[in-house]
Structure 1
Amino acid sequence: MKMSGGVLCGGSSRCNAVPLFLNHRAASLRISSSSSIPEHVSFVKDVAVTQPPQHLSQLLTILKTRGETIISPGAKQGLIPLAIPLSKNSSGSVIALLRWPTAPPQLEMPVVEVKKHGVWLLAKTVDQYIHRILVEEDAKDSQERNEELFHASADVGEKLYRKGDFAESGISNLDSYLLKKVGIFPDVLERKVKRHFDEGDQVSALVTGEFYTKKEHFPGFARPFVFNAEVMLRVGRKVEAKDAARGALKSPWWTLGCMYRDVADIAQWDDEQIEYIKEKVTEEGRQEDLKKGKAPAQVVLDEAAFLLDLASIEGNWDGYLERIGKCYEEGGLDDIAKFILYKQ
């Protein structure tokens, strides 16, 4: 059962519409184990070989100010290999940048929370995440508010958010303010749908769930389709839920926001998709694609994407690194291969 469609995945035919955007330079920089903020900027430039977000240093300062531990960008062991670690909080959650293997030049790296089986999107850009942090801090009671965060954000904070604007806006609900003034976020939209259900407004819940899945909102991420499938199940639309779940599985499985099995159950699939992918990453599967006329470079990039999917099921990223890196190398993406295989 072949999969098609979707964008921005790890090189598979699911994202042929996305042009390659790679600045080919040697990833020669070695990052020390002591993590200082300038190291992250250098790492993004020289190892991830892409343009660092303009205000990355300010974000790191903000994360440190709110009590998180800044960690080395090269501390990738055990994490999805597309992540560039930034910080870790007291509960052990890691915040990172996501380095898509292929991406259009205008797309800034999103900020994600790294999970065992993949990532959860926190914000589409660094600036959006800084803006959200400042709004959420300003919305707190004056006794709980960390005033140092506003100082840590420096000039960029003032450009993104004027302190006191949330209170002056007259918008009583923080989530509503975020959606109107900051941007759209997966967790905020999901809470909005749940509130509609709690209020007995099923129509608004369905409309918001559908809005969540618009392709321009979260390109490359499967999570909106997973959540929409759950919404459809809740209102008894089992066929539509099945279709939505199968649509989600056309995107990278490490963007589902949950375990693969949870989505496969809604899609009413047993293990046929897993078996299909396992066949595709064998030498026989590769030769079959070549015989069908698929370009050799595309075949190995597809294989890299499939291997990332398989790794996400187990949460065993390190066990797949060598094969994934080799695929990107064979596909002509040497810089991505070096980034994937980087060890400090």
Structure 2
Amino acid sequence: MQPCSASVVGARCPRPFAAADASSPRRRGAAPVRASTAAAEHVRYVCEVAVVPGKPKVETLLKVLEAQGQSAVSPAQRQGLHPLAIPLAQQPGGELTCLLRWPEGHKGMELPVVSQARDGTQVRLVARSVEEYLHRALAEEEAGGGGAVAAAAGGDSGALYARGAFAASKLPTMDAYLTRKAGMFPDVAERLVQAHLDKGDQMSALITGEWYMRNTFFPGWGRPYEFNSQLLARVGRGEEARDVARIALRMPWWSFVDGFAGMRDAATLSGGTIEIRAAMDEQDEMSNMPGMKTAVKTEKQQQMEEADWLMNAVAAGEKGWDEVRGGVAERYAAAGLTEVADFIKAAAA
């Protein structure tokens, strides 16, 4: 993976970060930075520290976030956040809007927009990509009669959303438009399920919930499974709810909305990270057919799995993000993902 060039981020990469940028003490609070310098700092960080491939519209996203009332914060203020998070702006409620730099894979969701409270154990998925976030912001603003977001998006607005597209679509609701034209969003999918329940149509709700969970819309993300386990329990399907909860526990625990304990209890399991891991390993052994050889994991897979369990321990309330950051970086380095490991280490105070 090569560092992004000037064309990748839509602006010339400024000088490389000095060593002090990665190691000097920083305030834990999300101190705002001047709007005039925020875009350049974020572009440089994404380009040179996170080494993000592709062409993420970082500058446009930051301007839109500010137009929505958020305050830009330094991308280097990563203390108390997920090791793969790049903070962008602070929301009025205090949470931070961030980019999540996956180590690899997660096709279609390589650089999602997420929300996290500093020192919070859970990370909420807002949009699968920068482009989907911007498309939604422009469509919703037009429907609401505003213009600040479109002005902030500038020349990118037309490429991301054609003015009048929502009305021209003839779709009955904004949620329907977003799902068909803009992308997939967890909150939208969950509202569609709730709309069926509000009409008393339990079967359609279950079908929509299954569609939300099973169609690989959100690779590597636990929330769709958590939501469906809760939905099944709500309509009296306890055994199915338990089975889905056990699948959910194989996803990152920090990607649940309501936390680890709820899924653990729904799965009818007990204990913390060590106990749940042992129970899952036992389930894997029991599922192997007699005479079938269990697939041997590569060293890379083993190291990435160990990194996942370190982060699960944070979601379980057993450790903090800053406490596991070094260990996660070590596992990724051992897996051969040196750029990701260096990115994680850059957050150390």
Provide the TM-score with structure 1 as the length reference: 0.81
Instruction: Tell me how far 1:259 sits from its aligned partner.
Output: 0.7
3-state secondary structure, aligned to 1:320: helix
Tell me, yes or no, if structure 1 residue 217 matches structure 2 residue 221: no
Judged with a 3 Å threshold, the aligned counterparts in structure 2 of structure 1 residues 231 and 279 are, in CA distance, closer, same or farther, namely: closer
Post-superposition offset of 1:66: 2.0
Q: For the Cα contact (< 8 Å) 1:117–1:258, is it kept in 2?
A: no
CA spacing shift, 1:50–1:165, aligned 2, 3 Å: closer
CA gap of 1:102–1:170, structure 2 versus 1, over 3 A, is: closer
CA contact (8 A) 1:122 1:186 kept: yes
Output the CA distance in 2 between the equivalents of 1:242 and 1:104. Answer: 26
After superposition, the CA RMSD in angstroms is: 2.6
Distance 1:38 1:252 in 2: 32
Indicate the larger mover: 59-68 or 323-332.
Answer: 323-332
CA contact (8 A) 2:3 2:53 kept: no
Which residue of structure 2 aligns with residue 63 of structure 1?
Answer: 65
Could you say if the C-alpha distance between residues 100 and 47 of structure 1 is closer, same or farther in structure 2, counting changes exceeding 3 Å?
same
* 1:334 aligned residue (335, 338, 348): 338
Matches within 5 A, 1:191-340: 191-271=191-271, 274-277=274-277, 295-314=298-317, 316-340=320-344
For this pair of structures, how many residues does the alignment match? 306
One-letter amino acid of the structure 1 residue matched with residue 90 of structure 2: K
Q: Distance in 2 between matches of 1:118 and 1:69?
A: 21
Counterpart of 1:48 in structure 2 is: 50
Matched residue type, 1:324: V
Q: Distance in 2 between matches of 1:47 and 1:118?
A: 24
Structure 1 117/301 Cα, relative in aligned 2: closer, same or farther at 3 Å? same
C-alpha contact 1:311 1:317 (8 A) present in aligned 2: yes
Q: Which amino acid aligns with 2:312?
A: D
In the alignment, is the contact (CA less than 8 A) between 1:24 and 1:335 conserved in 2? no
Query: Unaligned regions of 5+ residues in structure 1, if any?
Result: 1-21, 281-291
Cα contact 1:44–1:52 (8 A) shared by 2: no
1:126 aligns with 2:130: yes
Give the conservation status (yes or no) of the 8 Å contact 1:297–1:330.
Answer: yes
Identity over aligned pairs, percent: 37
Amino acid at match of 2:166: F
CA gap 1:242/1:105 in 2 versus in 1, 3 angstroms: closer
Query: Structure 2: how far apart are the matches of 1:229 and 1:293?
Result: 30
In the alignment, the residues of structure 2 paired with residue 294 and residue 193 of structure 1 have an alpha-carbon distance, to the nearest angstrom, of: 38
User: Offset of 1:257 from its aligned partner?
Assistant: 2.1
TM-score, normalised relative to structure 2: 0.80
TM-fit CA distance, 1:163: 2.7
Greater RCO (Cα-Cα under 8 Å, separation 6 or more): 1
1:16-27 to structure 2, matched below 5 A, reads 22-23=1-2
Shift of 1:230: 1.0
Conserved? CA contact 2:273–2:313, under 8 Å: no
SS in 2 for 1:118: coil
In structure 2, the residue matched to 1:91 is 93
Which amino acid letter does the alignment assign opposite residue 340 of structure 1?
I
- Kept in 2, the 8 Å contact 1:254–1:312? The answer is yes
* Per-residue CA distance 1:111-147 (angstroms, 9 max, x = gap): 111241231111111111001011111122x4xx2x1
